[in-house]
Amino acid sequence: MRLAVSALILAASLAVWAAPVAAEVARPVIAVAPDQGSCLAPPEEMRRRHMDMLKHQRDRTLRDGERGARISLNGCIACHAGKESGSVAASRQDFCESCHAYVAVKLDCFECHQPKSGGLATGEKP
């Protein structure tokens, strides 16, 4: 009996695997930033390493007080914020959210950080 059930499950899973994908997951929308020259690294490297860069720099900024570093989340947002939303994470069309939704990696940065560009500079009152 158990063997029969296992065989059935195997057959079913193979059928799903073999069937053509009916509704493919939408590919991420990657809007090209207006100023490509000022990016930290080529796109291939940024895609693989941006999290390491940000994680390394966040400790230097917060704990050592290093300001104005080349690696900067606000710097990323300034270039990559969506034209319509003004944000990098407001919708599936926005730069960060687009890829993170596609690869199903939870994007925690913007639970604390401001995802919109054009934020007030230091010292300005809202």
Partner 1 sequence: MSAGHKPPLPARRALLAGGAAAALSVALAPGIRLIEIASGNEAPTLASSKVRWGMLIDATRCSADCDACVTACNQENHLPTAAAPTDPQWLRKVSLKDLKTGRSLSVPVMCQHCAKPACVDVCPTGASFKRADGIVLVDRHICIGCRYCMMACPYKARSFVHAPVTDQNPQVPRGKGCVEGCTLCVHRLDRGQLPACVEACPNQAMLFGDLNDPDSAISQRLRAIATTQARADLGLDTGVRYHGI
Contact residues for partner 1, defined by CB under 8 A: 40-41, 45, 48-50, 52-53, 56, 58-60, 62-71, 74, 77, 111-114, 119-120, 122-123, 125-126
Assign 31 to helix, strand or coil. coil
Q: Name the residue nearer to partner 1 (CB basis): 55 or 92.
A: 55
At 64 the three-state DSSP class reads helix
* Residue 29 CB, nearest approach to partner 1 (Å): 23
Between the alpha carbon of residue 120 and those of residues 32, 94, 114, the distances in Å are 24, 21, 11
**One-letter amino acid of 123:** G
Q: Which is nearer to partner 1, 87 or 98 (CB)?
A: 87
